[in-house]
Structure 1
Amino acid sequence: MASFGMKVIRGLFGAAEHVAPALAGRAAFNLFCRTPGRRSLTAGERRAIEQARTFMQEARHHCLRTRSGCVMVHEFRPARKAIGTVLVIHGWRSRTEYMRSMIDGFRGAGFRVMSLDLPGHGHSSGRRLNMVTAVDAAQTAGEWFGPFAAVVGHSFGGAVAVNAAVGSVPGIAPLAAERLVLIAAPNAMSDVFEGFGRSVNLGRRTYSSMAGQVRRISGRALADFNGSRQLASVPVPALVIHAPDDREVPAGDAMMLAAAGDHVRLHWVEGLGHRRILSDPAVVERSVGFVTERQEPALVH
């Protein structure tokens, strides 16, 4: 967002704190859920999409109907008989094309890979995304293509993987997954909200109203969306991979996720930041190895 536009937004929210905090909180939540438009792609993002054109042509593309509209799931099959199915979920301002290295790694190990474009991202419809619509999209993919040997999530996609697996949203069944791989994933959504609130200058009452929108749409308090507590309550084996130099999701989040119990492993990778971590061969190898270490061959239809 342009600096001038951000100054205007900060000024408006600062003034609204004193005159209409409830209305401003709803507006802030809508802004928080707004996804980037296709016209906002950077030159680097457009280049990555173009470079992945042939890769995407190898997939079968499935449009699934969810409560938020059409979500696209891209199916990548291995060269040999599949030993299981893995669901891959990208992060905010991302898409399947950016998960190419991870997808190829699991295909090479014999997995069918289903890669989900979250609502408002990639080839899916809409311009809004929140945890409820994300979990609904993941569960819909599970109904069609699950159960999954693993769910691999990067950044916000990692939080979605946890929330889907534990069934955090009332009315949406838990996603059937044997393992989770959480790459550069945030621990607590409240921290994400607070960071956004600071960036747009939300006052205490406006922030409280914004957080209240979470309970309105999900039936749960914002504080309930805490990965460490969620993983502790449903001990699905999980691998947390994080770079200490990640500037978008603090390394402390990985430590909190790992504190959920002995069923969670933590693997540090130096110098890979928040996005380069996805294409690192050692990270891909570690992720695949975690899923395959006790994988039994199974026929995939």
Structure 2
Amino acid sequence: MKIKKGIRFITLKSVGSYINFLSYVRPQRAMELSYALFSQPRVGRFKKEKLPKILRDTETETFHHNEHHFQTYIWKGNETKILLVHGWESNSSRWKKTLPHLQKSGSTIIALDAPAHGQSSGKEFNVPLYAEFINKAVEKYQPEIIIGHSIGGAACVYHQYLFPNTSIAKMVILGAPSDLKTLIDNYISMLSLNNRMLPLLENKFINRFNFKLEDFSGEKFASQFTIPGFIAHDTSDNIVAFAEGKKLASNWKNSQFIETTGLGHGMHDDDLYDKVIEFLFEGTK
């Protein structure tokens, strides 16, 4: 394990050194390469003939959106619908441990694969496109509840900000980042990129998505929310800092924040799921 980590460290530093070199001689190429590394997942895809077991006995539907397509999986239940939104380098099978808890409620559960993940199309992942996928699924299925993990949680927050008047009445956000600027800063630090790269990446986001890094903030988006939110983050999360969850909760007026310890980034825990179920269904039975 230590050897693998060492190899990864050397590889990241080598890539970072190459990008730093390019930033002087071919800055446009440096920007495109660094953005590609940031936005293209390396794992999380699978083919239809190799579906994870948890996804095999589901109803499936493929949605087409502009030049993209994305996949959904449905576990049929009653008229209450829950939409599940996974995170980076994952897919809908990540909800395997969550499903039994949610199915006790009798609800119909729908999961979707993110851009460039699972059976969905593309090589690039980005939150604005994921929010568009979410919106297509919300329009079709009319879920009352949405649950997002990691960057999937950030996509749920952005979707709610863009489309506040949908069927969604409650949100659960697990281990999610708040600020894009923090993600970019961490990425630059991980690759040891030089100080020429941040302005280049900032320009990429302005040109590609028409927003500045500091404007893309879950903390800011959540200040507009009126629906109830349940936000949980683990103090030992080494993928998304605990402070990000606190930021997200700080401006969300109608929300509760749950601090966990020892769950890491995955956030799978029976006690936590009991709290989620209580939040979602207390007073409805």
TM-score normalised to structure 1 length: 0.84
Partner amino acid, structure 2, of 1:71: F
Partner amino acid, structure 1, of 2:124: R
Contact 1:13 1:200 survives alignment (8 Å)? no
Structure 1 residue 288, shift from structure 2 partner: 2.0
Structure 1 residue 3, shift from structure 2 partner: 4.4
Structure 1 residue 122, shift from structure 2 partner: 1.4
In structure 2, the residue corresponding to 1:101 is in which secondary structure?
coil
In structure 2, the residue corresponding to 1:151 is in which secondary structure?
strand
Contact 2:164 2:225 survives alignment (8 Å)? no
Structure 1 residue 117, shift from structure 2 partner: 0.8
Partner amino acid, structure 2, of 1:119: P
- Distance (Å, rounded) in 2 between the aligned partners of 1:241 and 1:100: 19
In structure 2, the residue corresponding to 1:233 is in which secondary structure?
coil
- Distance (Å, rounded) in 2 between the aligned partners of 1:293 and 1:149: 14
Q: Per-residue displacement from partner, 1:102-138 (whole Å, max 9, x unpaired)? A: 2332222021111011011112222210112111111
The yes-or-no answer on 1:166 pairing with 2:166 is: no
Identify the residue that residue 155 of structure 1 maps to in structure 2.
150
Partner amino acid, structure 1, of 2:81: T
Identify the residue that residue 273 of structure 1 maps to in structure 2.
264
Structure 1 residue 84, shift from structure 2 partner: 1.2
In structure 2, the residue corresponding to 1:186 is in which secondary structure?
coil
Identify the residue that residue 101 of structure 1 maps to in structure 2.
97
Identify the residue that residue 46 of structure 1 maps to in structure 2.
none
Identify the residue that residue 213 of structure 1 maps to in structure 2.
204
Identify the residue that residue 274 of structure 2 maps to in structure 1.
285
- Distance (Å, rounded) in 2 between the aligned partners of 1:175 and 1:93: 28
Q: Per-residue displacement from partner, 1:215-264 (whole Å, max 9, x unpaired)? A: 22322222122111111122321111111111111111111112114311
The yes-or-no answer on 1:178 pairing with 2:196 is: no
- Distance (Å, rounded) in 2 between the aligned partners of 1:246 and 1:17: 32
Counterpart selection for 1:19 from 21, 25, 43: 25
Distance 1:183 1:37, change over 3 A: closer
Structure 1 residue 195, shift from structure 2 partner: 0.8
Contact 1:120 1:127 survives alignment (8 Å)? yes
Partner amino acid, structure 2, of 1:286: K
- Distance (Å, rounded) in 1 between the aligned partners of 2:230 and 2:64: 30
Contact 2:115 2:122 survives alignment (8 Å)? yes
Contact 1:90 1:154 survives alignment (8 Å)? yes
How many residue pairs align between the two structures?
A: 276
Q: How does 1:51-62 map to 2 (within 5 A)?
A: 53=53, 55-62=54-61
In structure 1, the residue corresponding to 2:196 is in which secondary structure?
helix
Counterpart selection for 1:190 from 178, 181, 206: 181
- Distance (Å, rounded) in 2 between the aligned partners of 1:253 and 1:235: 20
Q: How does 1:1-301 map to 2 (within 5 A)?
A: 2-37=8-43, 53=53, 55-67=54-66, 69-78=68-77, 82-146=78-142, 148-167=143-162, 176-275=167-266, 277-278=267-268, 280-295=269-284
- Distance (Å, rounded) in 2 between the aligned partners of 1:182 and 1:105: 16
Which has the higher relative contact order, 1 or 2, with Cα contacts under 8 A spaced 6 or more apart? 1
- Distance (Å, rounded) in 1 between the aligned partners of 2:160 and 2:284: 19
Distance 1:68 1:290, change over 3 A: farther
Q: Per-residue displacement from partner, 1:7-60 (whole Å, max 9, x unpaired)? A: 331111121232333431222112211111469x9xxxxxxx98x51x322211
Partner amino acid, structure 2, of 1:180: M
Partner amino acid, structure 2, of 1:227: G
Contact 1:154 1:185 survives alignment (8 Å)? yes
- Aligned CA RMSD, in angstroms, stands at 2.3
Structure 1 residue 271, shift from structure 2 partner: 1.1
- Distance (Å, rounded) in 1 between the aligned partners of 2:129 and 2:14: 29
Partner amino acid, structure 2, of 1:76: W
Structure 1 residue 201, shift from structure 2 partner: 2.8
Identify the residue that residue 4 of structure 2 maps to in structure 1.
none
